[in-house]
Homo-oligomer: A and B are copies of this chain.
Amino acid sequence: MKLRIVPLFGIYFVGLFFGCGGSSHELALPAPPAPEGNRMNYARIKLGEKLFFDPRLSGSNWISCATCHNPALGWSDGLPTGLGHAMQPLGRNTPTIINAAYNTAQFWDGRVETLEAQALGPIEASGEMNQNPGELVAELKAIEGYPPLFESAYPDLGLSPAAIAAALAVFERTIISGDSPFDRWRRGAEAAVSQSAVRGFDLFQGKAKCQACHSGPNFSDGGFHNIGVRDQGEFDPGRFRVTPVKINQGGFKTPGLRDAARTGPYMHNGSYRTLREVVDHYDRGGDVKWNLDPEMKPLGLTEQEKEDIVEFLLSLTGDSIPVTIPELPQ
């Protein structure tokens, strides 16, 4: 199934030979979804960008989306678990915004499907941004520059909670990591990744069975699995709170793996600081054996194999996403 490149008269013919052309790009990231009701356009992106960076979206006027989804730290916060209003500790690791566009469910427990449905959640949560949406609308209406931006981005919705959520979702869909050394290698640039990364990719698909869940172009099946991560505090039932059937006890969403090098610490509770620790976890077959996903078995990886898998994961690091801090209406 590997991509093949055939140089002929100085021109490279890619993949169409030997009948394997159709599969060569199955891991290339497609364009992000563009929901019928909230298509992307310039006015919406620029409005969403301002809202994303505006601390006045929080009750304290001090915490913005970017405080915890910090572009400087892989659009997350670099902490094991997040902090919210008054710096109170939150229970789970802050998910990155990178490629959230491709998530089929949002939050670690997938309790909502779309970015539009997600966006107001942390704003309203008393432990996070602690803001009442009605008050937020009143506050933004009082900031001279905002109403015209909403008017032009969402003439039908106007300055409303729904428009705030929609604009944030549109902005988030611009934060895409897709073109990594791995992708360049898949397209035929053999030298784009190391031989160790190539071996790691083979292990990822084969012996280590990672692809059982981390599948598709964003390396997530969108499903929920209990992978036996030790709780740091009290037991977190995860997906079970959304759908209370036993298989969901301790189950959390499979995160995508693109840009994983930027988004540590890892796991729903940030148990691991490095990708190597994550690989070690899987090699052990997880730590807590109760209600474990049936795929979770010790892997018997050698030291070299573990290093190779980490090398493969590092090869999924895309170019950095340069964001210019917007100037906010005053």
Contacts and interface: CB of A to CB of B under 8 A. Distances in A.
**Chain A: interface size category:** 20 to 34
Contacts of A70: 55
A167 to B, nearest CB: 16
A61 B79 contact: yes
A310 to B, nearest CB: 14
A174 to B, nearest CB: 14
A90 to B, nearest CB: 11
Interface in A72-125: 72-74, 77-79, 83, 85-87
A83 B60 contact: yes
Given A78-B56, A87-B62, A324 B327 contact: no
A262 interface: yes
A330 B74 contact: yes
A78 B55 contact: yes
Interface string A200-239: 0000000000000000000000000000000000000000
Contact of A87 (B85, B325, B328): B85
A178 interface: no
A324 B326 CA distance: 9
A153 B149 CA distance: 42
A154 interface: no
Contact of A55 (B55, B77, B327): B77
A71 interface: yes
30 contacts: A53-B72, A54-B72, A55-B70, A55-B78, A56-B78, A60-B87, A61-B77, A61-B78, A61-B79, A62-B77, A62-B83, A62-B87, A64-B72, A72-B325, A72-B326, A72-B327, A72-B328, A73-B328, A73-B330, A74-B330, A85-B87, A86-B87, A87-B87, A261-B330, A262-B327, A262-B330, A320-B327, A322-B324, A322-B325, A324-B325
Given A78-B330, A322-B325, 17 more contacts: A50-B72, A55-B70, A55-B77, A60-B83, A61-B79, A62-B67, A67-B67, A71-B325, A72-B325, A74-B330, A86-B86, A86-B87, A87-B87, A262-B327, A264-B330, A322-B324, A325-B325
